[in-house]
Structure 1
């Protein structure tokens, strides 16, 4: 089994969550691959680009893959599983279901107009600790990936905080309610899940143990 972690929007492989999980896997003598989804060009990020990048990491010999995705990385993971039977298990941490519906209303009409007309909008990048321009193509592309079209029954564990201020818990509840192959664990945390990482790791261990990889 190959394990890959997909970080969230405006994050990096050096985020606290990515480092925690990489070290936890390493302690079990398991490699966790953590690609940089920014690819040195955050300004032209799209979900389609992320999907293509991660597809290139899948073993050519058909080795099964478990994807662990955080926020937008979770949404990307779900779409990779939809497209590839090689993805046999998903762990989604506060997945960004309904991302645009939750994010765009936070922008003013002026900001949205500026983004559409100029092509770029400054977005704070947590990894870079500064604002970077993001092309409007990101929105146009993201609109082509509604979670309502995800239908492959791949075993999925969702871990989502009850106090999530970015993607409400209700988004994961709605997703899980109509997909019997999805387990949802509600945690006493916010979008970052940082205060409950030991619980997150314990849940990942139970969910991904060999006896569960049918």
Structure 2
């Protein structure tokens, strides 16, 4: 839950124009805050009309307001940079992590995978599975990178074991062990085929019978 709080704080203290954390924040009379540079640039584009607006709520101001730095907000943003953002970095998915399939841009770590949706979700995007009745029947498991490949069609769980039977009695072995066994069988079969070809090529009787067969003449 602490991670979720950090995400909310970052959104709260972000400028809606540049979408980054507020820099030299100023607050308009309507209550919305912006980077000083961002709101100045926005208003410079409205100089010709002499009517200045809030980019979010579109409230208008005449004449152009004098901007004053919101010092309290500036302090809070600096504190967030020092503490909250460092904590938030640990929430992002690395190369070895399962990433949230819903996140856009830099993806957060998935906290669960859903066997019905066949997707993985971070804490934020997983919330509908807890709050919405239609999603509450979905089966959630620990995050899995290859979720669809590892679904056992006869069971609602990520396949940690390889089913040798059609789920009757569940004669199971580990997937890794079964893969190694199949690879060995394939290699033996390949060697047998090669040996048969070599034996036929070396067998003079086979060659002679081939040329004496109907349809072949000397």
- TM value normalised by structure 2: 0.21
Greater strand share, structure number: 1
- Which structure carries more relative contact order (alpha carbon 8 Å, separation 6+)? 1
